Amino acid sequence: EVQLVQSGAEVKKPGESLKISCKGSGYSFSNYWIGWVRQMPGKGLEWMAIIYPGESDTRYSPSFQGQVTISVDKSISTAFLQWSSLKASDTAMYYCARQRDGSLFDIWGQGTLVTVSS
Amino acid sequence: DIQMTQSPSTLSASVGDRVTITCRASQSIRNWLAWYQQKPGKAPKLLIYKASSLQSGVPSRFSGSGSGAEFTLTITSLQPDDFATYYCQQYNSYSWTFGQGTKVEIK
């Protein structure tokens, strides 16, 4: 079965760092871009960034450039999204998703809820 | 950046109704348009890609049409399982943008 499994919910304080993960299985992980999508509470979907595991090529939405860092470890078929200094406004559900055909996201992780509160 | 505008934001309908959701792009995106369904507490699910291609396993009551800058998602004979929020999404030059969503509610 093709799937993406994300790491569990996190509760952090403002200023703390965080790295969440997304592990792919059931397909050739290196050959598909993996994207990250934010969904703030009660709001819509926002594309954040995308990475190609085969070459670690990355693209960022201008809205998220410099705010987060994406990376990948091909050896364990896992993509990562990280923050160096969290803000309360980073509180959201974060989804990873496999990109197919250069344009769509066909497989989604279950989401990782990040709560940032003092 | 290309902006995507969906209408309506909320739609009230009954089981068996035909439902149409519109998505407009701020510039032409040819047919690089996908539709997703999201239920509360769940990840989005791909329904339609390249404007009109049905994703495997998606019921045939879902269909998509359009090209350029105007697109529609149609659900013929709405089913109880279809009450959810629907998003369109465009791709252009390594940039992906979602519409703001359309919530389909029970009338």
User: Per residue in B39-63, pLDDT tens?
Assistant: 999 999 999 999 999 999 999 999 9
Nearest CA in chain B to A95: B43
Q: Which residues of B touch A109 (CB under 8 A)?
A: 43
Q: How far is A61 from chain B (nearest CA, A)?
A: 7
> How far apart, in whole angstroms, are the C-alpha atoms of residue B7 and residue B72?
10
Q: For chain B, count helices (H), then strands (E).
A: 0, 11
> How far apart, in whole angstroms, are the C-alpha atoms of residue A62 and residue A64?
5
Q: How confident is the model at residue B6 (pLDDT cuts 50, 70, 90)?
A: very high
Q: How far is A85 from chain B (nearest CA, A)?
A: 25
Interface probe with B: pick from A1, A47, A101, A103, most Cβ of B within 10 Å:
A103
Least confident residue range of A66-70, B20-24, B67-71, B92-96: B92-96
Regions of chain A short of the pLDDT cut 50 = none
